[in-house]
Structure 1
Amino acid sequence: MDSDEDLARAIALSLQDQANKPKAQPEVHVIDDSSDDDEITILDEDPQFSRDLKRAMKQSKAEAETSASTSRNATSPAPPAPQAPGAPSGFISERAKMEQERLARLKRLRGDSVTDTTSADQGDQIPVMKRQRVSPSRAYAGNNRAAHSVSAFASSSSSGVDEAGGKGGGKEKGKEKERDVPTIDRTFWDGELRPTANRHAEPRADGRATFRLSEVIGHKSNIEFAILSSFSTSISWIYEFFDPHTPVIFVAQPDSSGNAALKNVLPNWLMTTPFLRNGYGCQHMKFMLLFYKDGRLRVVISTANLIDYDWRDIENAVWLQDVPRRPSPIPHDPKAKDDFPSIMQNVLRSVNVRPALANMLANDHPNLPLQTIADLRTHWDFSKVKVKLVPSIAGKHEGWPAVVQSGHPRLMKAVRDMGLRTGKGKAAKELVVECQGSSIGTYTTQWLNEFHHSARGESAEDWLDAPRSRRTKLPFPPVKIIFPSLKRVRATALGERGGGTMFCKRAQWEGKNFPRGSFYESESRGGRTLMHTKMIIGTFRSNPLVSVGAGTSKSAPQKKQLEDSETEPEDDDVDPDIQIVNEPIGWAYVGSHNFTPSAWGTLSGSSFNPSLNNINYELGIVMPLYNDEDIDRVSCFKHPPKKYGSDDVPWMQDESLILREIAAASS
């Protein structure tokens, strides 16, 4: 039986199962999203919406083998039939004909070209006209803002048209031509950060350009190979965005055993899962490596799972950049460990992609563009990628070489590499960090100060040498925790029914030493929608004593001691190693990390023998911010955020009467 027949049979079985299934009732669905004891519930009274979310929730359970089977994912529309010669099913051919007719109707309605990815990212249950609201002119509204040093991160993409018209008097003409190019046809050689499109905030109140999943992936016929990673996944849904003959390696959440494994889930689709100790933790990374037939590679770092809900009903963020293939490979450099491709290669090895790649090469796909993981750095030119990659690798990491490759010590290294250390002593800058996420952790003053120390770009050596008794008594650092209040959730388009991917527990909130005074409102700049986006905005509070040049003050011996207050001096002189170029005012992080110890890790040990414990696999990027306009372009939440009022409490889904009633009705 060849692969086309296998595929046709899988689709037919899925459709038959869907047809025979009784009408779904509203249900309560739970995701264990973070290993911080955070159960996540998504509900809706609409049966189709409920079915979609039920499928999404099932994917997020640890039973990865169940989530991989399209024949058991009958709660979503079946993938479109492949246009393969000699397909055995007449029904498949009829489906193809219906699809062609649908595209023709869309073309008449829209008056422009309709591609094979027109509607897949929104789902068939959404009316066609709603999917047409983002026009090309609106999609590029954000690009009319002044281009500047964060061009690699927000609304300043480039295409072949831009390069052709970007000189002298033709520059503006080139930009006009670029705006006429549909997003799906553009290349982003300088990188791009955008929020995802959302049907409840369309058009966006702030006018920013957005990404749909079809635009992120591009035309399916152009993709030669793909590596995808997500925590919660609908295989049958994401399958629609790829040609059935395209080989895909999919990194997923392992089952309850936590063992690394490989499994064929569809013809040409191989699922791989990484190791998790005792099955505890999450493979929470959300990324894509898309290899196109023209030779380029698109790197995608996202906050969204590969389920339709995350790309339709809640706001997320996507950073992507196209990377050209080198004319000829460069030699392998075993000493390279800190640049973007080297870190990405380490990520791929950590999440078990290496055996999956070897399996594909040895069986049906010997001519993949990526023959070894090391080819990523030697065959593609990452010189224009300016963001810093920050992963968390699940496990225990001992010794500085290992510790600085993961979690918040990796963030420290990224901040330091960008020249954004705060410095020490009286002249040190104070860093305020604003942390937006969808899940609240168990916070202590020790961990918040530990994270803040790394966010300042300062080595944990000083931190670990201070007595633990002193660290546990430090005041809370300048950290703002951005999380929606009960009032905010009720004011959104979906109300409490849409609060199922946000979680905080009463026991956390009422904890004796919990930082309730550090909570701020999470309000999307796009409109009345909740945000699944994980983002940190770190900005400096100016200190007139700070020197902006290297070597402007003499070096003083560094004390291996932490004062009683994080803002009190540790020594009297400015660190001479600090070099500030173009006066950045801070930095921003975007990725899969929630602001929790499970995501960012917890340090222990001493400065001579440190140890970092990470529960989850996570991945994100960090970039510098140069002015307030940068913050406006990058920030997903209204800035500055509003502090909780005296009567505000965070949204707690397990206390929602609406969710309880729906749960009771479905039990």
Structure 2
Amino acid sequence: MALKRPVDVLVLDSDSEDERSTPRSAPSRSNTASRGPGAPQSTSLDDDEDSELARAIALSLREAESSKAVSTPASFQSRIPDKVITDRAELERARLERQRQREAQGGSALQTVKVASTSRVGTKRPRVATLADVRDPSPPSTSSQAFASTSSAASKHAQRFWSGSVKRVANSYVPDADSFTFRDLIGSPSTLKAAVVSAFCLDPHWVVSHFQDETPLLLVMPRPRGDASPALAVCSIKENTYRAIPDEKTADAWQGVMHTKLLIYYHDDYCRIVIPTANAVPYDWDLIDNAFYVHDFPYSPSDEADPFKNPTHCQFSRAFFQVCYTLNVPKRFIADSRDYDFSSAKDVRLVHSTQGRFVPKDQWNKGGGMASLANAVKAFNFAPGGKWEIEATGSSIGSYYPAWLSQMLGACSGIHPASYFRSGRNNTVPPGSPAPAVGQPVNLPIKIVFPTETEITGSFGGAPGGGTLFCPVKRWEEPNFPRHLFHRGESKRSRVAAHTKIILALHKFDRGSLVPPKHEGWMYLGSHNFTPAAWGKLQNGSNGPQIVLNNYELGVVLPIRADSAEELERKASELVTYRRPLQRYSPDERPWQQERFLSTD
């Protein structure tokens, strides 16, 4: 049995459907005191623009009591205890007690509020750039902790990603000139008109420290247990700051989470949309390996008041609006998008999961998950025939039942679950991906990428640095768990624990096939872990077939096309954040499992 060690820094970010996930944050580096209650008082929101968005705001305020001031939720401000807490209910009770104590001492108030308009020119440019392998580092020096100088920060503020790009989050253990800090991505404060920051774990004090008082800022986060404040409210940590909470749509809300990670920055001359794998806490943007997709859209003023009628819309931007709608983002943080040109994102697909149970089948696309993924893959019009080989990495390991793995492989091949799933025998998996007989191992072209114990204990952060990675011992030791699918999850940043969430799919053709081979594939990057909680479970209920999604999630799917098999492999290896080719676990290796190393005493 491994020697257990106490935990120094931990962010709980499991999305396992078997656990009651409660949002936690890493210790905040900011001790900024809350500002006094100087926010606008309760009032109605403007309703002179898009009626659909207005209805979304009305729904988000339906439980608000304008005469009642509720204290700011504190679950994202408190320091995580120095032990791993497996009893999440007990930890939540302790958090609520700390919150009550803070409220007794006078906390900052949350109030329903009228969100002020955020209004203000640009150039056009027309494929997705990739990230290169990071060199093996020497042990980090003290001076390297602050590698981003003022001049380099200014240089990054000037960078534009008109065609979209995959980039790395800056890391103090392995500094490099190409990665970005949270502040780098915001851009110049002098041109910033408004911002939206959404995350599962969000440290409000740390986030708002990056923005000027006059900048309208919206924080989108899960509702802490016991919090009864309005879904849309003012957050008086900083002037012009608001908080939105998406609706909880599961029978037991604590069986799912608001896991969507999204950054939106409206500038005078461009709009930047960022989809990171990192939470909005300093730990994720400094000490573990994370990545993001960033796309800039040029300013293109329009006379059309309705942002839904922007003539440059493509699937990416339409889905973006729908995601904002389901997250209860106020229309004043969406309206400015009518004045930006989204046409450069036509080769990118946005995929989502919306928490809830969706039935009948014509509602599955609204829920998303594996239905959204299948639509994205199909839209790329990949060649017929062949087979798809999948590599999936994330920070949380799910319940990998044979049928679910077959269903996910189908979605990764562009097969919509509604095309085959129904009641009756042999109707639960897509054609060509049969589930094995009971007791037999899964034989599917899927590789699950997850770090081993030695990879984490040998990392710069040691065992405590694995506090954001979840693979329960009980699940791993289940008799039919597909342990043979697991491969080492070594980050290109040697000795840095990885928190990235990626699916890589490559289209392969047998030698001698009658179908000419196409060298193509795609990569997913976003908040979805490779779990049923994130991508959904297909079920036959009393009302018919349904898809059940525990979480709110968001990510992008990027096509990969090449002229040869060698070029395809090279491009794939450049895009992903882990080292390829993958190595299967040896017989004596096992995945990193917190409970074997991190003490709860």
TM-score between both structures, scaled by the size of structure 2? 0.71
Q: Please tell me the residue identity of whatever aligns with 1:320.
A: V
Q: Please tell me the residue identity of whatever aligns with 1:210.
A: S
Q: Please tell me the residue identity of whatever aligns with 2:327.
A: V
Instruction: Note if contact 2:297-2:342 (Cα within 8 Å) is conserved in structure 1.
Output: yes
Question: 2:60 — aligned with what?
Answer: none
1:467-482 alignment, distance < 5 Å:
467-468=424-425, 471=428, 473=436, 475-482=442-449
1:81-96 alignment, distance < 5 Å:
none
Question: 2:147 — aligned with what?
Answer: 133
Question: 1:351 — aligned with what?
Answer: 327
- Could you tell me how far apart the structure 2 residues matched to 1:200 and 1:323 are? 32
Q: Please tell me the residue identity of whatever aligns with 1:190.
A: S
Residue 465 of structure 1, CA deviation: 4.6
Alignment partner of 2:370 out of 405, 408, 416: 408
Residues 464 and 53 of structure 1: CA distance in aligned 2, closer, same or farther (over 3 Å): closer
**Structure 2 SS opposite 1:647:** coil
Residues 429 and 258 of structure 1: CA distance in aligned 2, closer, same or farther (over 3 Å): farther
**Structure 2 SS opposite 1:346:** helix
**Structure 2 SS opposite 1:641:** coil
Question: What CA deviation, in whole Å up to 9, does each residue of 1:497-518 have, x standing for no partner?
Answer: 2110011111110112110000
Instruction: Note if contact 1:192-1:319 (Cα within 8 Å) is conserved in structure 2.
Output: yes
Between Structure 1 and Structure 2, how many residues are aligned?
Answer: 478
Residue 603 of structure 1, CA deviation: 1.7
Alignment partner of 1:591 out of 521, 526, 540: 526
Residue 463 of structure 1, CA deviation: 3.1
Q: Check if 1:395 corresponds to 2:356.
A: yes
Q: Please tell me the residue identity of whatever aligns with 2:223.
A: P
Residue 605 of structure 1, CA deviation: 3.9
**Structure 2 SS opposite 1:503:** coil
Question: What CA deviation, in whole Å up to 9, does each residue of 1:277-322 have, x standing for no partner?
Answer: 3322111111011111x24211010000010000111010011111
- Could you tell me how far apart the structure 1 residues matched to 2:322 and 2:227 are? 20
Instruction: Note if contact 2:11-2:468 (Cα within 8 Å) is conserved in structure 1.
Output: no
Question: 2:40 — aligned with what?
Answer: none
Question: 1:263 — aligned with what?
Answer: 233
Q: Check if 1:195 corresponds to 2:168.
A: yes
Q: Please tell me the residue identity of whatever aligns with 1:287.
A: L
- Could you tell me how far apart the structure 1 residues matched to 2:14 and 2:397 are? 11
- Could you tell me how far apart the structure 2 residues matched to 1:202 and 1:480 are? 29
Q: Please tell me the residue identity of whatever aligns with 2:286.
A: R
Question: 1:639 — aligned with what?
Answer: 580
Alignment partner of 2:382 out of 420, 423, 430: 420
Q: Which has the higher contact order (CA 8 A, sep 6+)?
A: 2
Question: 1:443 — aligned with what?
Answer: 400
Q: Check if 1:507 corresponds to 2:474.
A: yes
Instruction: Note if contact 2:235-2:243 (Cα within 8 Å) is conserved in structure 1.
Output: yes
Instruction: Note if contact 2:8-2:464 (Cα within 8 Å) is conserved in structure 1.
Output: no
1:240-279 alignment, distance < 5 Å:
240-256=209-225, 261-266=231-236, 267-276=239-248, 277=250, 278-279=252-253
Residues 410 and 63 of structure 1: CA distance in aligned 2, closer, same or farther (over 3 Å): farther
Question: 1:302 — aligned with what?
Answer: 276
Question: What CA deviation, in whole Å up to 9, does each residue of 1:352-377 have, x standing for no partner?
Answer: 113xx4xxxxxxxxxx6x5xx4663x
Instruction: Note if contact 2:9-2:465 (Cα within 8 Å) is conserved in structure 1.
Output: no
**Structure 2 SS opposite 1:623:** strand
**Structure 1 SS opposite 2:263:** strand
Of residues 301-310 and 268-277 in structure 1, the stretch that sits farther from structure 2 once superposed is 268-277
- Could you tell me how far apart the structure 2 residues matched to 1:212 and 1:534 are? 19
Question: 1:123 — aligned with what?
Answer: none
| Cα RMSD, aligned residues only | 3.8
- Could you tell me how far apart the structure 1 residues matched to 2:355 and 2:513 are? 40
**Structure 2 SS opposite 1:189:** coil
TM-score between both structures, scaled by the size of structure 1? 0.65
Residues 43 and 459 of structure 1: CA distance in aligned 2, closer, same or farther (over 3 Å): closer
**How much identity, in percent, do the aligned residues show?**
28
Residues 64 and 335 of structure 1: CA distance in aligned 2, closer, same or farther (over 3 Å): farther
1:20-419 alignment, distance < 5 Å:
31=12, 33-37=14-18, 55=78, 57=80, 129-133=143-147, 182-203=155-176, 209-256=178-225, 261-266=231-236, 267-276=239-248, 277=250, 278-280=252-254, 281-292=256-267, 294-329=268-303, 332-333=308-309, 339-354=315-330, 357=331, 370=333, 373=334, 376=337, 378-385=338-345, 386-405=347-366, 406-419=368-381
Residues 473 and 299 of structure 1: CA distance in aligned 2, closer, same or farther (over 3 Å): same
Question: What CA deviation, in whole Å up to 9, does each residue of 1:175-217 have, x standing for no partner?
Answer: xxxxx971122121111211111111224xxxx8211111111
Q: Please tell me the residue identity of whatever aligns with 2:173.
A: H
- Could you tell me how far apart the structure 2 residues matched to 1:62 and 1:623 are? 38
Q: Please tell me the residue identity of whatever aligns with 1:528.
A: R
**Structure 1 SS opposite 2:377:** helix
Instruction: Note if contact 1:64-1:253 (Cα within 8 Å) is conserved in structure 2.
Output: no
Of residues 244-253 and 470-479 in structure 1, the stretch that sits farther from structure 2 once superposed is 470-479
Question: 2:591 — aligned with what?
Answer: 650
Residues 214 and 496 of structure 1: CA distance in aligned 2, closer, same or farther (over 3 Å): same
Q: Please tell me the residue identity of whatever aligns with 2:381.
A: G
- Could you tell me how far apart the structure 2 residues matched to 1:68 and 1:195 are? 35
- Could you tell me how far apart the structure 2 residues matched to 1:62 and 1:334 are? 44
Instruction: Note if contact 1:41-1:653 (Cα within 8 Å) is conserved in structure 2.
Output: no
Instruction: Note if contact 2:390-2:446 (Cα within 8 Å) is conserved in structure 1.
Output: yes
**Structure 2 SS opposite 1:241:** coil
- Could you tell me how far apart the structure 2 residues matched to 1:321 and 1:66 are? 39
- Could you tell me how far apart the structure 2 residues matched to 1:222 and 1:651 are? 44
Residue 437 of structure 1, CA deviation: 0.3
* Pair member with larger Rg: 1
- Could you tell me how far apart the structure 1 residues matched to 2:156 and 2:531 are? 34
1:506-655 alignment, distance < 5 Å:
506-543=473-510, 544-545=512-513, 547=515, 583-605=518-540, 610-626=545-561, 627-655=568-596
- Could you tell me how far apart the structure 1 residues matched to 2:218 and 2:25 are? 31
Instruction: Note if contact 2:501-2:525 (Cα within 8 Å) is conserved in structure 1.
Output: yes
- Could you tell me how far apart the structure 1 residues matched to 2:218 and 2:29 are? 29
Residue ranges of structure 1 left out of the alignment (5+ in a row): 1-24, 74-125, 140-179, 358-367, 549-579
Residues 460 and 335 of structure 1: CA distance in aligned 2, closer, same or farther (over 3 Å): farther
**Structure 2 SS opposite 1:353:** coil
Instruction: Note if contact 1:448-1:476 (Cα within 8 Å) is conserved in structure 2.
Output: no
Q: Check if 1:458 corresponds to 2:415.
A: yes
Q: Please tell me the residue identity of whatever aligns with 1:651.
A: W
Question: 2:68 — aligned with what?
Answer: none
Residues 65 and 509 of structure 1: CA distance in aligned 2, closer, same or farther (over 3 Å): closer
- Could you tell me how far apart the structure 2 residues matched to 1:72 and 1:449 are? 49
**Structure 1 SS opposite 2:407:** helix
Residue 54 of structure 1, CA deviation: 8.6
Residues 335 and 466 of structure 1: CA distance in aligned 2, closer, same or farther (over 3 Å): farther
Q: Please tell me the residue identity of whatever aligns with 1:183.
A: K
